[in-house]
Amino acid sequence: MPDPPPEPKTRYELTDPDVRLMLRVRDGDEAAFRELVEKYQGRLVGILTHLVSDRETAEDLAQDVFLRVYRARERYQPTAKFSTWLFTITHNVASNSLRKSSRRKEINLVSSPSGSMPVRPLEMMAKEKSGLMPARQLLNSEMEKVMMAAIEQLGERQRIATILSKFEGMSYMEIGETMGLTTQAVKSLLSRARNNLKDILKPYLESGGLQESMAEGFNEEPNDEAQGH
């Protein structure tokens, strides 16, 4: 009997070289896996550092992500861009870590003498975290520090969506696939994140300490059309 015809390649297999690498990993190619790790490790650690606010924890979580990728290799199907699939795993790993961290904080809070903490405005938390006050024009490195401190004050889902949008250049659709949300839900999430960032950065903008153009960069919406969606 003749061999059955090969399965048709998906559009992702045809257009995404990283999907083809992952298919080689599925077939047992260890070198292909090492290539993917080398390509994405730095990006993953960067994203995870923004999410969990700790470099060492981020490095551990990145290793966990790649371990999950390797364990899932035999079940891998190219139904999305490789980066979307990878960041979906990253999102799940980060969310689990943040939930565990939140539970630990709740336990510590209950066991503390007062049982409560003072509520502080988000912008004050951002100032304290960045170590900077909006009394002067900030240097570029300081602006970046303030922006990242502001993003870290967002809620978990808003923070993840903002990072995927602004640092990974993902479209609404890709962010939705990564986070398990509809495109409309992502739009709403990013809209709320932009409004919150505007409030957090207001003292810096009013004092002239932060350039308007830099803050506006976080108010730009993903260009889905430009990304082929």
Nearest partner of 164 among 179, 142, 150, 147, judged by Cα? 179
Domain ranges of the chain: 11-98, 118-227
Alpha-carbon gap, residue 135 to 37, rounded angstroms: 43
Alpha-carbon gap, residue 44 to 59, rounded angstroms: 8
Tell me what the pLDDT averaged over the chain comes to: 78
Using only C-alpha atoms, the chain has a radius of gyration, in whole angstroms, of 21
- Cβ atoms < 10 Å from Cβ of 213: 7
The domain made up of 118-227 is a member of CATH 1.10.10.10: yes
Average the pLDDT over each of 70-79, 105-114, 208-217 and give the range with the smallest value: 105-114
pLDDT (average), residues 137-148? 63
Per-residue pLDDT tens for 89-111? 999 999 898 888 766 544 443 44
Which two tokens mark 183?
A: 């495109």
C-alpha torsion angle, residues 73, 74, 79, 85 (rounded to 10) = -20
Instruction: Quickly name the fold that domain 11-98 has.
Output: Rna Polymerase Sigma Factor; Chain: A (1.10.1740)
